[in-house]
Amino acid sequence: MSRFAAPIAEQIWDMKYRLKSANGTPIDQTVDDTWRRVARALSVSEPTQEERFYGALEDFKFLPAGRITAGAGTGRAVTLFNCFVMGTIPDSMSGIFDMLKEAALTMQQGGGIGYDFSTIRPKGADVTGVAADASGPLSFMDVWDSMCRTIMSAGSRRGAMMATMRCDHPDIQDFITAKSDAARLRMFNMSVLVTDAFMEAVKEDGSWDLKFDGKIYHTVEARDLWNKIMNATYGYAEPGVIFIDRINQMNNLNYCETIAATNPCGEQPLPPYGACLLGSINLAKLVKDPFEANAELDGDALSELVTTAVRMMDNVVDESRFPLEAQAQEAQAKRRIGLGVTGLADALLMLGLRYGSDEAAAQTEAWMKQIARASYLASVELAKEKGPFPLFDADKYLASGSLQHMDDDVRDAIREHGIRNALLTSIAPTGTISLYAGNVSSGIEPVFAYAYTRKVLQPDGTRTEEEVVDYAVQLWRDKFGDKELPDYFVNAQTLAPMDHVKMQAAAQKWIDSSISKTINCPEDISFDDFKDVYMEAWETGCKGCTTYRPNDVTGSVLSVSESSEKTPEADTGADVVYISEPLDRPQSLEGHTYKVKWPDSEHAIYITVNDLIINGNRRPFEVFINSKNMEHFAWTVALTRMISAVFRRGGDVSFVVEELKAVFDPRGGAWMDGKYIPSILAAIGSVIERHMIVTGFIEGEGMGLKSDPQAEVVNLGEAPRGKACPSCGQYDMRMVEGCMTCGSCGYSKCG
């Protein structure tokens, strides 16, 4: 009998977590083999714990972050940590590019990164010694964005980045509006570091100084600046808001670190070179007698599972590789972990509680407190056995904000024995691992959709459809058949925004790091009501706030009817065909050859683009790149083969242009036809783009697909809206825990 509760769960395991050889042959024959591999790897230093670790993993009760499940015990040189906050960016050209190099090395091993760009002097400021004006932090963020698009993360996912900027930086207004351009800084999530003083100034309608290095550059009205932040996120979902003073006040380590940035999804505020190590307790697996009058979560099983999970995650600190030595030292000095939950909404449903109700909020707070107690006591036991984290200072540690409301018996144990891990709890995005666990509700989010139809691409190029059902809904069906769902079944689309805030605040009290949570807002929410969501989040103790309102820039999420288990699809459109096998080359093709003369290069490069003509429409089919310069031979041949292979697979291949144009040469680019081209590869990309425009394949420079002659119209009644998933092509992108995530294949920019 399969361990998987749904076909999608097995597909996610096979695609993302199953260990395979270099040629794709499975090494993990079953998911039990995967659990055994991870358990063995994390118990190398204490083999007697292997069976205990395996028992926690078994049946998807404890879900380590995806990097642990995919990387532990494989022998591969990858980090088991999800994300990092990088070092403080120096306000100097050499220091900035040293930080860029560190970012590239970190993303090369698969880590997402966060940066505070507040330390870079504002645009127009004097640059000492060179008689020039500073270009400002936004210009350097463009460089980071280009680098991130160039580097492929470990596995098959692009790197994710978070950029933060203080609300008093002189360039904050440009930061706020930067992503109104849908093509700019798309590899970044962006958040404003909002201080308590600023929020008080907003409430009192006071003025606000924008300053850098002690110099006041501008004075604005605080409420005007706040409205600018709110307008941006109301219009295109960014920037988010991070309540940075609260984060530092509540930080267990505020005596030895200052936080100014978070990881890409915001649940881990971290110091320079800090890393987030994540794992989630699957609450949906711990409910006894679901949907019955005596339904309850097994408290003893929860405490035991938390204790085991803490030991496993503490071992990851010692077993993981790190891209940079500074990251390894930071992790060893503080041993911070981020144990969270998933399946919360499903567990509440099984108890008959409506997500967002006062009763559900109270139950959530009680569960989070039990997890906090169990994790802190487990870490104390580890400290007895292995010693506390090296920077532990009992008096200073216990004086921190988050320890003030901890129970006295826990505080006394910490004072007497120390604690192994400086911070222990965090609620992370769990989109992919929740699918892997049988489509349980994600993190502390409400159920997104009771059920939806997913298209699966088959090896022969055809698509089949399968229904993906929420874990709790499927359990209800198994118990009660077609009996109507009770009225306490609610979903993300029908909840009032303030219900989301209430649940986030209830959980935050016992989470010593932070929470990745998206507050879904209806498209027709008034601007004043939208602003009230953020003010309520601040006043109720949240450490940040991320909302999602359907908009023209990021697209619309699929709508869900409260009375229906089905997620309707959207209006009109067509699927792009993704060809499973490359097409055979016809005997003749039509094309054009272009000449590129790169400055300081002795020989020109010639680029030939040949097209396939289908029903009178042209689409690029192959590329040839040639040069007499033998230094170019290897990479021009490689580029010829790779681009042609992509073109022959079909679909929207215009992304090739985008990727080439994003490549910059650290030695410098060149001015060509009045435009600055960052590299010779970018020049090649521009040539291919011009060809695509002339042949009508794309609409214009920097624009997407015009019409796809390979597109087939699929009659769905209603068709998808918003953007297609870059991984599977389905129109099922949705905002989950601060990150656009595909409901069909689990793809997420943030991991």
Tell me the catalytic residues: 263, 265, 267
Contact criterion met (CB below 8 Å) for 554 and 181 = no
- Chain centroid, CA 31 distance in Å: 25
Helix axes 93-108, 137-150, angle to 10 degrees: 30
The sign of the dihedral angle between the CA atoms of 377, 378, 384, 388 is negative
Contact criterion met (CB below 8 Å) for 445 and 347 = no
Residue type, 301: A
Per DSSP, 605 falls in state E
d(CA 190, CA 239): 5
d(CA 351, CA 293): 8
Q: Which residues contact 603 (CB under 8 A, 6 or more apart)?
A: 627, 628, 629, 632
Per DSSP, 113 falls in state E
Tokens of 513: 């790091």
Residue type, 643: I
d(CA 560, CA 555): 16
Give me the phi and psi of 147, to 5 degrees please. Answer: -60, -45
- The neighbour count for residue 12, using CB atoms within 10 Å, is 23
Contact criterion met (CB below 8 Å) for 408 and 415 = no
Total residue count of the chain as it appears in this document: 751
Contact criterion met (CB below 8 Å) for 274 and 85 = yes
d(CA 725, CA 739): 13
Facing residues of 132 across strands?
Answer: 127
Contact criterion met (CB below 8 Å) for 414 and 399 = no
Residue type, 29: Q
Residue type, 639: L
d(CA 653, CA 672): 25
Per DSSP, 627 falls in state E
d(CA 639, CA 624): 9
d(CA 271, CA 250): 14
- The neighbour count for residue 212, using CB atoms within 10 Å, is 20
Residue type, 664: F
Tokens of 437: 């666990």
Tokens of 522: 């209806």
Tokens of 256: 């030895």
Alpha helices by DSSP H, listed for 387-462, are 394-398, 408-417, 431-436
d(CA 304, CA 318): 23
Q: Which residues contact 434 (CB under 8 A, 6 or more apart)?
A: 63, 342, 343, 440, 441, 442, 443
Q: Hunting for tokens 């016809």 — which residue is that?
A: 586
Let me know if 640 is exposed, middle or buried by CB neighbors in 10 A (0-12, 13-18, 19+).
Answer: middle
d(CA 390, CA 419): 10
Residue type, 162: M
Of 70, 82, 7, 81, the closest CA to residue 35 belongs to 70
Q: Hunting for tokens 């394949």 — which residue is that?
A: 697
**CB-based contacts of 671-675 (< 8 A; 24+ apart in sequence):** 672/599
**CB-based contacts of 600-604 (< 8 A; 24+ apart in sequence):** 600/670, 601/629, 601/680, 602/629, 603/627, 603/628, 603/629, 603/632
d(CA 208, CA 221): 6
